[in-house]
A = this chain, B = another copy of it.
Amino acid sequence: MDKISRSPAMTDVARLAGVSHQTVSRVLNDHPNVKEQTRIRVRAAIAELGYRPNRAARALVTGRSQLIGVVARNSTLYGPATMLSEFEQAAADAGFAVSVGSVRELDRSSMGAVVERHLDQRVAGLVVIANTASAVEALAEIPEDLPVVFIDGDPASGRPGVTVDQVAGARAATRHLLDSGHETVWHVSGPTDWFDSAGRIQGWRQTLEEAGREVPPLLSADWSAAEGYRTGQMLARMPEVTAIFTANDHLALGILRALSERGRRVPHDVALVGFDDVPEAAYFIPPLTTVRQAFGDVARAALGLLLGQMGDEAGTARQIVVPPQLVIRESAPSPAR
């Protein structure tokens, strides 16, 4: 690398400012015990040379980069996209870059490979969106001293993590439909190996049982409108089905279409509650009653927990549970309307 075209390093700044390279480092890292006059001189030299720190050099010495690794399943859904976006913003505000590693399947091998890549980069911490038990298994290889936070992991685990209270969300949705006068509530779930799905199923089932209502057979699906349409075509054929709670808003959209095709009016004939509150939910026909997950809050809480681990190991091995919120719109209006 030719001397003329080499980027200026700290030693160049030091020479120009007439100090040691260590003092330049002290100025850049806001060390105490540096005279203000010295700081000014160093900063002027930095500006004059257009010096840019090399994070790789710092990472090499400290053993930790200024990167946070995210491990997530490849998804274009609103929830994951929102969390990633909010997380990146919050991390940037805290001085970290975010490196994303995604997997096509939540299996041990795929996730293990992503974790390896992050470890090679000597990430300062990891955030793992671990929706299933098999995803969690993959993480056995993470060094014990590396800060890790789980999002949407197993609520019953002892690991540091942030989850939305899926059971409470499902209870609110189901309770709302029962309070509106429905005999029982049908549920279309997401993939049943996902912790989120399990929590929603549990909340739905508990609420029905506690109310002494019949628990209808579960319709299991994935997260797509296509699967909502498929299950909706079955539900629309059953006259006794007057209330449906779906595991997400896209499932609800598919069901809306199936009901429409069979002349089942919403909410007149069938009331419908979704889950997530994607921005479009308010513009479905009719606007969707749904359970809002505060994805942004989840992301920011996860970062807080991770930074806590990085700074002070005590008291951060905990789970933060973010409350969901029932948002009532026309697809399942309030009782006594």
Contact B89 A279 (CB under 8 A): no
A85→B74 CA distance, assembly (Å): 6
Closest to A228 in B: B283
Given contacts A52-B119, A85-B102, contact A226 B282 (CB under 8 A): yes
Chain B residues closer than 8 Å to A1, beta-carbon distance: 63
Chain B residues closer than 8 Å to A254, beta-carbon distance: 283
With an 8 A cutoff between CB atoms, is A75 at the interface? Answer: yes
With an 8 A cutoff between CB atoms, is A208 at the interface? Answer: no
Q: When the two chains form the complex, which single residue of B52, B88, B283 contacts A257, counting CB atoms closer than 8 Å?
A: B283
Q: Could you list 28 A-B pairs, sorted by A, with CB under 8 Å?
A: A52-B119, A53-B120, A54-B60, A54-B120, A55-B122, A56-B121, A57-B60, A67-B121, A74-B89, A75-B81, A75-B85, A76-B82, A77-B81, A81-B81, A84-B100, A88-B101, A89-B102, A97-B101, A97-B121, A98-B100, A224-B279, A225-B280, A228-B283, A229-B283, A250-B280, A256-B283, A257-B283, A285-B285
- Name 17 extra pairs, CB < 8 A, besides A53-B120, A60-B60, A85-B102: A55-B121, A55-B122, A56-B56, A56-B60, A67-B121, A74-B85, A80-B81, A89-B102, A97-B99, A97-B117, A98-B99, A98-B100, A225-B283, A253-B284, A256-B285, A257-B285, A257-B287
Interface residues of A (CB under 8 A from B): 1, 52-57, 59-60, 63, 65-67, 74-78, 80-82, 84-85, 88-89, 92, 97-102, 104, 114, 116-122, 224-226, 228-229, 250, 253-254, 256-257, 260, 279-280, 282-285, 287
